[in-house]
Structure 1
Amino acid sequence: MVESRGTGGRRRWNRWRVAGWGTAAFLLLLPLLAMQVTGEMNWDLADFVVFGAMLGGAGGAFELAARTTRDTAYRAAVGIALAAAFFLVWINLAVGIIGSEDNPANLMYFAVLAVGIAGAAVARFRPHGMARALVAMALAQTLAAVVALIAGWGHTFVVTGVFVALWLASAWLFRKAARARARAGASP
């Protein structure tokens, strides 16, 4: 919905939106600033385009979710899930979770995201189904770590623990949003 409180039909930007997109712009400029200070940071145009697309995609997805509901728990759940997905992709592309970023075993972590995307589509973004999708992502993340351990590719327990905690925190918030929606009489 477009809010226009005496602004001649223009969209009103609130402080949270400005802070969110300002943070995204700052994060996009941070590598450029780092390149001026150290020679170890060497991004080319493709790196900036990919990072910008990741920031824009995550920010746009959150904007869409925030516009569809006023439920704070649902918004927080989406924010945590998107942040976790963003960092999972970023870490995988930058340095890799298993070995280097060139290790094909890291593709398992993109399967974790595929589980979440498929689960969200099946759930049609309803909070109860989203909670289940996020639990499935936590299980997929754990499975990837177990496969890496069994195959001798390395120990990823700390990284796995962080991501599993994020997926489960998001699932808990979606569950909370589902309960609130059920109490309000809306369909879960």
Structure 2
Amino acid sequence: MITQKQKTVTIYALPLVLLCIPLLGNLFSKEINWSVSDFLIAGALLFTTAFLINLVRNRIKKQSQKVLICILILLALALIWIELAVGIFGSPFAGS
């Protein structure tokens, strides 16, 4: 059985693993060109998401509410990420 501490460590380790993918791409490919600010923004988004999901996991008692709130958090992450990458809403900080 996985303990509470192991679940928390896993939640916070996942952003690091996800950030290793573009880092390796930056090192070995010319097609991926992330700057330091790209890594900082992605890290902030991913770790904020991990923090919020961990907060929901610890504070909300009903399983159905946990799932719904976590889905909403992940949807918000996806929309912000897509906006920063390609600018689906046309905001001033949209990507090209």
Q: Sort the TM-score into its range (normalised by shorter chain).
A: 0.7 to 0.9
Tell me the distance in 2 between the aligned counterparts of 1:66 and 1:18: 13
Tell me the distance in 1 between the aligned counterparts of 2:63 and 2:25: 35
TM value normalised by structure 1: 0.43
TM value normalised by structure 2: 0.79
Amino acid at match of 2:14: T
Task: List structure 1 segments (4+ residues) > 6 angstroms apart after TM superposition.
Answer: none
Map of 1:21 onto structure 2: 12
**2:30 counterpart of 1:46:** no
1:19 CA drift (Å): 2.6
1:57 to 48, 51, 60: 48
Deviations 1:66-124 (A, max 9, x none): 21122211111121111111111111111222xxxxxxx423xxxxxxxxxxxxxxxxx
Map of 1:30 onto structure 2: 21
- Structure 1 gap ranges (5+): 1-11, 98-104, 108-188
Amino acid at match of 1:106: G
8 Å contact 2:11–2:54 — kept in the other structure?
Answer: no
Same amino acid, percent of matched pairs: 28
8 Å contact 2:22–2:32 — kept in the other structure?
Answer: yes
Corresponding residue pairs, total = 88
Q: Which has the larger radius of gyration?
A: 1
- Structure 2 gap ranges (5+): 92-96
